[in-house]
Amino acid sequence: MQDIAASMPMTQVAPRDRSRLIVPVLLFATLALAPLLGLVGPDRYVLALFTRCVIFAIAALGLDLALGSGGLVSFDHAAFIGIGAYAAGILTASGIDDAFLLLFAALATSGFFALATGAISLKTRGVHFIMITLAFGQMAYFVANSLKAYGGDDGLTLANRSTIFGRDLLADHRVFFYVSLAMLLAVYLFARAVVRSRFGRVLRGAKENETRIAAIGFDPYPFRLVAFVISGMIAGLAGFLLAEQSEFVSPAFMTWQRSGDLIIMVMLGGMASLDGAILGALFVVLTEELLSGFTEHWRVIFGPFLVLVVLFARGGLLGLLTGRRHG
């Protein structure tokens, strides 16, 4: 009887482990095959749409580290996207077009801004944290508007996409899509490792019970700050890719509404679930594209659906698909 009892947990865990493996495999396989839709429609349109899905999935993964694992409702993540985009755009306008240099600049500037703002914001909690991140995000937005040398509120048009080892590989839209998808996979695997590490366990523990984590000898502040900086750098990566895709940089990348869209992606897909962040980004971007073709007031249709998911599906869309609950 003891042997049977000991074996029971393994039979319960195995299907769950398989489902945790199947979901990301299906997500990435679907994205990898998405360009095939170009065979039955405009190829460039399909590639642009799914590249946008991939880019915002990267940004949503970054936010999920802060929001899902750390409980940090940040309204300045669009600023990190914009800063990453402007870092790449300004260097491109200055004649530097090496992709690795532009990527490094995007990660460094967004990470520095996240460190500076996070060090202050994380001294607060709850609504105060939301408001101070919103204030920092708006500050970055108005600074971008004031950059008259780089287009001001009209934005900055890039002459070309960056080069890799001197070759214009990213000019091919299909190549750019798969490079972006590879970056999404790299960010996903990195975030998965972070969440499953000791660092991630402390971060989640502080979200659930900060007092208990402090009592066992862990100060939550540095863990949250590091998570916030990592989250900001991932958003900066998304900003770099967004600038490269559109060959345009604008303060519109940095609006607080864009931060709200990222929060919706994470909540809709399933908080504290990396798979859910990707699923939520895909759903929001594709739904916006579909509904905006019928009406410019597409949010009036999308809003009630979001409310229903929040009320009746605690695990978000991923919870509905797999029967699991998150966050």
CATH number at residue 53: 1.10.3470
Q: How much is the average pLDDT of 191-218?
A: 91
In a domain, 2, yes or no: no
Q: How much is the average pLDDT of 161-185?
A: 92
Q: Which of 5-9, 59-63, 286-290 has the lowest mean pLDDT?
A: 5-9
Position 165 pLDDT exceeds 90: no
E strands, the chain, are 156-157, 248-249
Q: How much is the average pLDDT of 7-30?
A: 65
**Per-residue pLDDT at 244:** 94
The count of structural domains within the chain is: 1
Distance of alpha carbon 32 from alpha carbon 51, whole angstroms: 11
DSSP output for 250-292: -GGGG-HHHHHHHHHHHHHH-TT-HHHHHHHHHHHHHHHHHHH
Categorize the per-residue pLDDT at 324 as very low, low, confident or very high, splitting at 50, 70 and 90.
low
In a domain, 1, yes or no: no
Whole-model pTM above 0.95?
Answer: no
51-99, pLDDT tens digit by residue? Answer: 999 999 999 999 999 998 899 999 999 999 999 999 999 999 998 989 9
CB 133 within 8 A of CB 117: yes
In a domain, 327, yes or no: no
DSSP, collapsed to helix, strand or coil, labels residue 5 as helix
Amino acid code (one letter) for 141 = Y
Categorize the per-residue pLDDT at 9 as very low, low, confident or very high, splitting at 50, 70 and 90.
very low
Residue spans of alpha helices (H) in 34-98: 43-64, 77-93
In a domain, 149, yes or no: yes
CB atoms within 10 A of CB 6: 9
In a domain, 235, yes or no: yes
**Per-residue pLDDT at 187:** 97
262-275, pLDDT tens digit by residue? Answer: 999 998 988 888 99
Q: Which two three-digit tokens encode residue 238?
A: 């998304």
Bigger pLDDT: 316 or 163? Answer: 163
225-248, pLDDT tens digit by residue? Answer: 999 999 999 999 999 999 999 999
Domain that holds residue 167: 15-322
In a domain, 25, yes or no: yes
Position 7 pLDDT exceeds 70: no
In a domain, 78, yes or no: yes
Position 327 pLDDT exceeds 70: no
Residues in the chain: 327
Q: How far is CA 295 from the centre of its chain?
A: 26
CB 67 within 8 A of CB 244: no
In a domain, 305, yes or no: yes
Instruction: Tell me what the pLDDT averaged over the chain comes to.
Output: 87
Q: List 234's β-bridge partners, or say none.
A: none
Amino acid code (one letter) for 64 = D
Q: How much is the average pLDDT of 120-136?
A: 93
Output b/e per residue, 67-98; b: 16+ Cβ within 10 A: bbbbbbbbbbbbbbbbbbbbbbbbbbbeeebe
**Closest among 324, 276, 326 to 17, alpha carbons compared:** 324
**Per-residue pLDDT at 283:** 92
